[in-house]
Amino acid sequence: MRFSTADSPDADGLLFQYGVYSFDGPEAFSLDLTRQFEVLGEDGDHDHFVQVHCELIYEPVPALVALGDFTSWFFHDSGEDLGQWLEALTTRDAWAAIREQRPVKLEVYQAAV
């Protein structure tokens, strides 16, 4: 779904990423789906971004650790095709390993960056 955002190529973005991280405790495999919006200041210039995350956390079992890490961005108004970006993500070999596991935690949160 598109939102009313600033008129810049980075104003509305989608991020798909996974990997083994230890941000707030022991290592875990994280599958993170993020929506990013640009926030403008009172002067109409870039102030910061807001990111809304939906993160699935898994035990770092060998099959998931072996996937390494992966990051892919899509920005509306960049000229790229959303359908092609989504297709490339859904056909990644990593899904076979991820589907075999059950998340141990789900976190939904918002952060300013």
Residues in the chain: 113
Residue 105 has pLDDT above 90, yes or no: yes
Please report which confidence band the pLDDT of residue 66 belongs to, taking 50, 70 and 90 as the band edges. very high
Taking the alpha carbons at both ends of the chain, their separation in whole angstroms is: 22
**pLDDT tens readout for residues 28-51:** 999 999 999 888 888 988 888 899
Q: What is the Rg, in whole angstroms, of the alpha carbon atoms belonging to the chain?
A: 16
**Does the model's pTM come out above 0.75?**
yes
Q: In terms of DSSP bridges, do strands 28-40 and 12-21 run parallel, antiparallel, or are they unpaired?
A: antiparallel
Average pLDDT over residues 3-27: 84
Better-scored residue on pLDDT, 6 or 41: 41
Percent of the chain surpassing pLDDT 70: 96
Alpha carbons 95 and 113: distance in angstroms, whole number:
29
Residue 112 has pLDDT above 80, yes or no: yes
pLDDT of residue 91: 93
Are 8 and 38 a contacting pair, CB within 8 Å? yes
Alpha carbons 74 and 70: distance in angstroms, whole number:
14
Residue 3 has pLDDT above 70, yes or no: no
